[in-house]
Every structure is written in structure tokens, then in C-alpha cells.
Amino acid sequence: MRKVDLIAVFLALLILVTSQHSIAQETERETSVTQEAAMEETEPKPLKLEDVRVTAPRQNDGIVVSPSTTAIHVEDYKTPGTANNIVDLLKDRAIIDFRGQSDLVPEEDDVFMRGFDAHRYATAMDGMTIDYGRSAASGTRTMVVDFATLPIGQIESIEIMPGPHSALYGGKSIGGVINLKTKRPKRYTSLKPDFRATTSYRSYNTQNHGINIDGGAGAFVYGFSYQYYHTDGYLRHNSAEIDNYFARVGYILPTDGYIGFNIAYTDKDKEDVAKNVVGGVDYDSDYPETTTTSNYGWNDRKQDIYEYTYRLNYEQPSPIGFWTLAAYYGNQDWENSYFQEKDTGKRPEVKPDEIEYYSSGTRRNRQVGFKVQDEIAIFKDNTFTVGFDRVQMWQEPEYYYYEDNRYQLEKHDIYYCNAGYLQDKWAIVPRLTLTAGLRYEDVSYWRRNWNTSENKPYITGEDSWVRRNNNQWIPKSFLTYDFDGLANVLSDTSASIGVSKIWNPTPFCYG
């Protein structure tokens, strides 16, 4: 009996504990349900907003993108490491094709735009074209734009405009326009200048050091920058050393316009890449293979470039529009030198026993131009622009080819172009914008009519120099429709069509 009583007591205790646990769980569930109901009553219900449409242009990492223009803001744009020159800011854009032999040594014509080389797109500074193609004498380009010589520290933004659809630029802008905008003067409340210094060092003994100083006193402003760049290059015989100087002074007008004057000077020394062919007797395995040159290492072919430019800028708001004026003078000297086999003048692959220093000549390019423009806001969504520009370029008489075949050019205005233009930009409806323009160009150039190898004129009965004239009306149009806001999948999407006349006045001046 005692054993039975103990079992009964144990079962009774087990039933009691189980029932208490079940009651506690039920109580917890009821409390939880009650708390959730209370929270639902106290929490605010979510508010559903209407669709929001953003109409501002897309902006990311210092870039503003629109159908007609991509603008790179230099100080805000992020690049790996320090940007050595303008090319470092351009070459990762989809519209730009970098074709340089080395990204360490910047050269002329190493940037293509939409597949066009520099003969087919325009490079401008503050809206004024600074590269106008070839010489009428030799077919070589005059005033070649070498992006390494441009003062990156004084560039505020870079505008990239695709296609030949702007009447504000010349006929050579078939592929588009790269316009460099210099920093606009600002008032300073103290005499303390803004100072910035940068320095970098990386592989191949590549150095980039620079300083920028901007300051002023009230309405008077000034600026100075210096940049030193050196690299040994990773290709054989491809070192470069560049010194860039830039200085400016300006005055901010009471009407919020300004007048400014600046001068830039560049001294650039560089070696031309030497051939390095696997299996060749002159092959050096320490460098990559290079087959696109006829120059050998022992030639020690070098290029010295000295360039300076003077530039005047003027902006003035007025009751009849926003006036701008730009004028400049450019001076560019190229000196080429190398070693060759003595007496024969040949350049064999193997270094000969005797070599001699040889200068292949000096090219002295000159260019002068000016541009005046008025931008008038007809009404809120319509802007009308009218302007005139002129460029003139020539080569000094000191130009010659080779020591054994020297000749002097007679001094001619080898090329000039007078142009007038008008353009109207009209937002017809909020999503539809039309830019239509008309440009007139009058081009004159001299063509050398003398065959030096045969010592006779190319065209019988003509003088040794022949003058040619061309002129043309060039219509431009660009229509853009913005799909943004029509559907989520069309966000930040637009379609554009341009219909413009392409005019290439002469193969000698525009390539």
C-alpha cells in the first residue's frame, strides 16, 4: 500500500506542475496578443507618397551628364592616384579613345573622340578653338595641342560635346568638341591666398609635383601654378620631363563680369620610343616589345618643345545679353635631334662604328585668334547666341627639313578663317529641346607649289606659292526628347537626333 500511495502522490504532483505550466503559457500568449494589439493601435500607419520626378541632370563623382554635353568638374572628379594631365581625366570616358603608346608619356594625338583623331574634332579653351589642323606647306600640323602642356591646376571643368551639331565651333568638329574652361575669378575678403601643393611618386621613377596659388584683394585677383613631371617610362627610350608655368591677373567688374589676362609657358623634353623586336640584334628583354617605330635605341631620338601662350578673357552681363570675348596668341617651337651613321646618313639596326649628332630641323608654329559672342535669353526656355571668330596661323621662315636639303619658307599667312554664327536653343515642351544654328566660314590658305626633289613647280604656270579660298554656309540642328518620368525603366533616359552639314574646307588645313 505504501508503494501505491507514493506512486499516487507522485502522479498528483506531476499533474499539478503540468497544469500550472500550461496555464502560464496560455497567460503569456494572451499577454502577447494584448501587447501586439496595443502596439498596432499606437504605431502610425505608413504614408504612401506620390511619384517624385527628378529633372536635374545626372551627377556623380564630379560629372554632370546631359544629352548634348558631359561636364567633368576637375576638383571634384575622382581618379586613381593623382591626375598628371588632362588626358588622365578624359581617357576613362566612353566617348574618348586613348591610343597613346604609353599612359606615362603624354603626346600629341594620343586621344581620339568617337573614333576621330585630332584632325576631326576640335579642342577649345573657354570656347575658342586652339587646334586648327595642318600646315599648308608640308602637311604637318601647326599648333598641335599637347594635353601635357595645359595647366591642369587652373582648369575648372572640361566639356565634352559629341558630334558636329554646335554652330559655336568650326567645321573640323566632326567628331565633337573638348572645351576646357579655366577657373572663373572670385572675390577675396582677405589677403590670405588659397594654397595647394601636391606630390606623387610611383614606378618607373614617375614624379608629379605641383603648387597652386590663388588670391586677391577685393576685386583684384591673381593666380599662379607650377607643375613638374618626370618619368623614365616603361617602353624603351621613352623618358619625359615637363615644366609647366601659369600666371594670371584679373579684375571683377561691378556688374559681376570680369576681365582677365594669363600667360602659360611649357618646356617639354622627351625621347621617342625605340624599336624593341623579339629576336632582333638590338632586343632588350627588360622592356616590352615595340614594333611601331623605325627608331633604334642608339639613335637617341629626342624632341624638345617650347610653348607659350597669352590669353585675354572678358565677360560682361548687359541688358542686351551676356557678352564674352576671348583673344590669344600662341607660340610653339619644336626641335628634333638624333644620332645617325656618320657620312652615309643611314640608320641601321646595329649601331655602326661611327655615329654623328644630327638635327632634323625646327618647326616654329604661330597662331593668333579672337572670338566675340553674345548670349541672349529671349524668354525663360529660349536662349539665342550670336558671335564671330577669327583664327590665323603660320610657320616662321626658319622652318626647314633636313641639313642636306634645307630651304626657307616665305612668310605667308598660311591659313586664316573668318566665321560668323548664330544658334537658338529652345525647350519647346518640358521634355523636347531643339538646338538649331547656322555657321558661315570663309577660309583662305597658301599651298606650296614647289617640288624640291625635282626642282620644279607641281602646277605649271603657277608661282611657288598658290593661294586658295573656300567658303560655306553650315546648318546645324540637334533635337532631344527626355523619357525620364514616363516609366521607371526609362529613368534617366533620352533620345537625340542631329542633322548637320559637314564641311571640310581643305585637306591641307583640316587633315
| Residue for grid cell 603608346 | 101
- The DSSP H or E segment spanning 451 is none
Q: What is the DSSP string of 85-138?
A: SHHHHHTTSTTEEE--S-SSS--TT-EEETTB-TTSSEEEETTEE----B-TTT
Q: What is the DSSP letter of 80?
A: S
Residue 495 belongs to what H/E stretch?
Answer: strand 494-498
Distance, in Å, from the CA atom of 387 to the CA atom of 194, rounded to the nearest integer, reads: 35
Helix (H, G, I), strand (E, B) or coil at 480: strand
Residue 55 identity: T
Distance (Å, rounded) from C-alpha 497 to C-alpha 479? 5
**Are the C-beta atoms of 228 and 246 separated by less than 8 Å?**
no
Nearest in space to 64 (alpha carbons), one of 96, 97, 93, 86 = 93
- Lookup: cell for 364: 616654329
Task: Give the per-residue pLDDT at 184.
Answer: 85
Q: How far apart are CA 222 and CA 79, in angstroms?
A: 28
Domains, in order of start, for the chain: 192-510 (2.40.170.20)
Pairing of the two strands 122-125 and 176-182: parallel
Q: Over the Cα atoms of the chain, what is R_g?
A: 34
Report residue 394: phi and psi, to 5°.
Answer: -160, 170
C-alpha cell at 222: 591673381
Rounded to 5 degrees, what are φ and ψ at 151?
A: -75, 90
Q: Which amino acid is at 405?
A: N
Distance, C-alpha 484 to centroid of its chain:
28
Beta strands in 380-464 (DSSP E): 382-395, 415-429, 432-448
Whether the Cβ atoms of residue 181 and residue 152 lie closer than 8 Å to each other = no
DSSP H or E run through 358 = strand 355-379
Instruction: Tell me how many degrees the CA angle 448-508-475 measures, rounded to the nearest 5.
Output: 135
Give residue 138's pLDDT.
44
Find the helix or strand (DSSP H, E) in which 20 lies.
helix 2-42
For residues 216 and 274, give the distance between their C-alpha atoms in angstroms, rounded to a whole number: 48
The grid coordinates of residue 478 equal: 540637334
SS3 186: coil
* Secondary structure (DSSP) of 498-510: E--------HHHH
Distance CA 366, CA 74 (A): 29
Phi and psi angles of residue 327, each rounded to the nearest 5 degrees, phi first: -145, 145
Encode 308-349 in three state secondary structure: EEEEEEEEEEECCEEEEEEEEEEEEEEEEEEEEECCCCCCCC
CB of 173 closer than 8 Å to CB of 117: no
Task: Work out the end-to-end distance of the chain between its first and last CA atoms, rounded to an integer number of angstroms.
Answer: 122
CA dihedral 338, 344, 346, 349 (to 10 degrees): -100
DSSP letter string, 263-302: EEEEEEEEEPPPPB-TTSTT--TTS--B-S----GGG--E
Per-residue pLDDT of the chain (511 residues; tens, 9 = 90+): 444 454 444 444 444 444 444 444 444 454 554 545 444 555 556 666 565 555 555 445 678 888 888 899 988 887 776 777 888 888 888 888 888 777 788 777 778 888 887 778 888 988 888 875 544 444 445 566 777 778 888 889 999 999 899 999 988 888 899 999 988 888 888 899 999 998 999 889 999 999 999 999 989 999 999 999 999 988 988 899 999 999 999 999 998 899 999 999 999 999 988 888 888 888 888 888 988 888 888 888 898 988 999 999 999 999 999 999 999 998 888 888 888 888 887 777 888 888 988 877 677 888 899 999 999 998 888 999 999 999 888 777 544 443 444 444 455 557 888 999 999 999 999 889 999 999 999 988 877 777 777 888 888 888 777 888 889 999 999 999 998 878 888 877 889 999 999 887 654 443 3
* Residue 38: exposure state from Cβ atoms within 10 A (0-12, 13-18, ≥19): exposed
Under 8 Å between Cβ of 357 and 404: no
Tell me what pLDDT residue 44 has: 58
